[in-house]
């Protein structure tokens, strides 16, 4: 038992020797999968491929699982087939998270697992994560949170473990680029992914391209403002093929 009454991950997996891990390829779920593969008796990762995840997320997940020797399954889910999700209401994240975790739980049960884990950490504010209600309803456990591991600590431990995801920026799904109640479709998601991939190729990390009334609104961190100014002409030229206008968020932010 750690200071503050938190249990150690080793103790958690001693008590829960077999588990399915909801795996996104991000820093948190990557460290959780690493720890599960190291300490649990039997574990399997489940990555759910939807129109909301860019291809690089799947590539990262496959790479991480391969590097640590973890068993991983890829599930395909048509989230846009659910009107409660495609209509993009304020509680879209709840419906989407529920669909995703129901799909994982069903696959995990067929594979003989009764316990499902996710990578929520001790820094995650429940008020900022509407999908957490779905996790509670489905009985999903969050070992990182239960063990008091903050985002900073997860990154530190991931670096010590040699995981390439240790400094990977948090990534909000492509659906977050549209405002609430603005319907989401495959064409719009593909457009966002293509344009963000273009900017990533210029060296941008931890940024967003949001859609607002047909315009592209670029949000970057303060440290990448000079890079944005340097490349604004070619970025505008590329994005204007897809959007009616290109604007820059006046604040240095890119939150979900």
How many whole angstroms separate alpha carbon 95 and alpha carbon 89? Answer: 10
CATH of the domain spanning 3-167: 3.40.50.620
Write out the two tokens for 124: 């995650």
* Cβ count near 75 (within 10 Å): 14
- CATH number, domain 185-248: 3.30.70
Q: What is the pLDDT of residues 132-190, one digit of tens each?
A: 888 889 999 999 999 999 999 999 999 999 999 999 998 889 999 999 999 999 999 99
* d(C-alpha 10, C-alpha 14), whole Å: 6
Domain ranges, ordered by start, for the chain: 3-167, 185-248
- Measured in whole angstroms, the distance separating CA 130 from the mean position of its chain's CA atoms is 14
Tokens 């999903």 belong to which residue? 140
Please list the residues that pair with 212 across neighbouring strands.
215
Q: DSSP for 65-107?
A: HHHHT--EEEEE--GGGSHHHHT--TTHHHHHHHHHHHHHHHH
Query: pLDDT tens-digit profile of 21-77?
Result: 999 999 999 999 999 999 999 999 999 999 999 999 999 999 999 999 999 999 999
Structure-token pair, residue 221: 């961190």
- Are 3-167 and 185-248 in the same CATH fold? no
């Amino acid at each position: 038992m750690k200071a503050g009454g938190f249990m150690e991950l080793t103790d958690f997996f001693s008590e829960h020797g077999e588990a399915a891990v909801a795996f996104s390829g991000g820093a948190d779920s990557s460290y959780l999968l690493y720890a599960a593969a190291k300490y649990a008796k039997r574990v399997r990762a489940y990555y759910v491929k939807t129109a909301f995840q860019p291809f690089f997320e799947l590539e990262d997940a496959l790479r991480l699982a391969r590097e640590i020797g973890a068993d991983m399954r890829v599930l395909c889910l048509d989230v846009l087939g659910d009107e409660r999700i495609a209509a993009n209401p304020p509680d879209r994240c709840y419906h989407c998270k529920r669909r995703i975790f129901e799909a994982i739980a069903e696959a995990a049960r067929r594979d003989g697992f009764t316990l499902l884990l996710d990578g929520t950490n001790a820094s995650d504010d429940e008020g900022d994560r509407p999908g957490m209600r779905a996790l509670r309803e489905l009985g999903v456990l969050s070992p990182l949170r239960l063990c008091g591991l903050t985002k900073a600590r997860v990154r530190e431990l991931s670096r010590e473990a040699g995981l390439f995801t240790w400094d990977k920026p948090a990534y909000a799904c492509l659906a977050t680029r549209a405002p609430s109640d603005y319907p989401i479709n495959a064409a719009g998601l593909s457009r966002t992914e293509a344009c963000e991939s273009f900017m990533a190729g210029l060296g941008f990390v931890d940024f967003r391209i949001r859609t607002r009334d047909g315009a592209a609104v670029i949000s970057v961190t303060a440290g990448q403002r000079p890079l944005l100014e340097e490349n604004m002409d070619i970025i505008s030229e590329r994005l204007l093929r897809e959007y009616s206008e290109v604007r820059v968020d006046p604040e240095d932010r890119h939150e979900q």
